[in-house]
């Protein structure tokens, strides 16, 4: 029978239980290594197909070969598709629609359990195809929804006197910062998992609070 307090968090018993319940290791010990390799390969495939800017292939190439060829990515995005396209089959249109719920995910994971430092610390097992990607070919999701600082000004004028301009700067709330190249924080891993889940389950999508599960 189940323990009143759940699986004890000693000798990785709790982590192992979750892996078994979620089908990550498989029911048989003898097939654990094979199942684990298959799941990791599938996860890498999801990253390459879902966490990728349109117009860039999985190997990072996104331009023609210099001979006038049309730039085509792994999903067949060519000249008929462009960032302003609103077609239902447009990869760019899907990309910008994804950014709407990605922004919510980004806001949630950057504030995840702020009373502990775990999610701010770098993971010991960063995803190589993510942390070693840069620029337009990058797969770092937080770079797609980078927050910024907004500035505005109020113009005040009293009678015939001088005009006074009060500059107002709206500062961002302090949240988790991204780590340097080659590193990945735990909150970044959670962000990617939630994004892939939302992409694979469009009927459910992302609901605020999933980051707390």
59, 156: one domain: yes
pLDDT tops 80 at residue 61: no
pLDDT for position 138: 56
pLDDT for position 27: 79
pLDDT for position 193: 92
| Burial grade of 44 (CB within 10 A; 0-12, 13-18, 19 or more) | middle
57, 84: one domain: yes
23, 88: one domain: no
71, 157: one domain: yes
Helix axes 186-200, 32-50, angle to 10 degrees: 80
37, 81: one domain: no
**What global pTM score does this model have?**
0.69
Instruction: Give the residue numbers spanning the domain of 24.
Output: 1-50
**C-alpha 186: how far from chain center:** 12
pLDDT bin (cut points 50, 70, 90) of residue 115 is confident
Mean pLDDT of the chain: 76
Q: Which of 14, 32, 50 is the last residue of a domain?
A: 50
Percentage of the chain exceeding pLDDT 90: 10
6, 102: one domain: no
100, 150: one domain: yes
72, 28: one domain: no
Question: What integer is the mean pLDDT of 156-164?
Answer: 68
**C-alpha 20: how far from chain center:** 25
pLDDT for position 4: 57
137, 75: one domain: yes
pLDDT bin (cut points 50, 70, 90) of residue 78 is low
44, 59: one domain: no
46, 123: one domain: no
204, 170: one domain: yes
Total domains in the chain come to 2
């Amino acid at each position: 029978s189940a323990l009143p307090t759940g699986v004890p968090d000693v000798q990785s018993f709790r982590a192992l239980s979750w892996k078994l319940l979620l089908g990550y290791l498989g029911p048989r010990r003898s097939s654990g290594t094979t199942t684990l390799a298959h799941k990791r390969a599938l996860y890498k495939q999801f990253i390459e197909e879902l966490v990728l800017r349109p117009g860039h292939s999985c190997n990072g190439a996104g331009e023609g070969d210099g001979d006038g060829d049309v730039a085509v990515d792994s999903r067949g995005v060519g000249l008929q598709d462009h960032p302003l396209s609103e077609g239902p089959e447009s990869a760019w249109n899907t990309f910008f629609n994804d950014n709407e719920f990605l922004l919510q995910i980004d806001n949630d994971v950057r504030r995840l359990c702020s009373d502990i430092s775990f999610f701010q610390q770098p993971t010991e097992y960063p995803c190589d195809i993510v942390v070693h990607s840069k620029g337009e070919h990058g797969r770092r999701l937080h770079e797609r929804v980078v927050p910024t600082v907004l500035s505005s000004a109020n113009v005040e004028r009293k009678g015939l006197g001088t005009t006074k301009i009060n500059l107002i700067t709206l500062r961002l709330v302090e949240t988790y910062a991204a780590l340097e190249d080659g590193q990945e924080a735990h909150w970044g891993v959670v962000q990617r998992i939630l994004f892939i889940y939302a992409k694979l389950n469009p009927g459910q999508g992302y609901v605020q609070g999933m980051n707390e599960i």
